[in-house]
Homo-oligomer: A and B are copies of this chain.
């Protein structure tokens, strides 16, 4: 399974591609950051994010795209740009028919460190260890994108089982009920 993780942002959009399956060592395929100038017009920044994401999709052909789920509660000043950059990433994937999964920051932290409240350094350290890298990827947005991809690979089997159960229940509504 090859997953592109996207840590959305207008100034720095982290991107990381990880390959592997749950329960086996994972491989980093690529990592980077799509940057857009803070003084550019918003529509041009969104266009630059799109062009960056398209390049990553063209080059690495992921089967899944995992994007951080953005909440409106925290960090009000930057949350709109983050939401808009995430929309561009989702749109690029959907246009190619690539399934998109959203994971919350605490799901990602819990997946790679065991704690939903881990700090950036801890996430960076675990990403480095899990992907057997020489040093933590910089900046933190790049490490977070890899963490998202890892989270998706590890959560995917559970999500797929859940989706299958829902599909089965929808097709045969009486199955799964207590008689």
Contact = CB atoms under 8 A, between A and B. Distances in A.
Contact of A90 (B42, B71, B94): B42
Contacts of A100: 41-43
Interface residues of A, number: 27
* Number of this chain's copies in the complex: 2
Contact of A91 (B47, B71, B102): B47
Nearest to A41: B100
A100 B43 CA distance: 7
Nearest to A50: B91
Nearest to A42: B90
Contact of A76 (B73, B88, B93, B102): B73
Interface string A68-101: 0011110010011001111110110111000010
A44 B87 contact: no
Contact of A80 (B42, B46, B70, B93): B70
Interface of A: 41-44, 46-47, 50, 70-73, 76, 79-80, 83-88, 90-91, 93-95, 100, 102
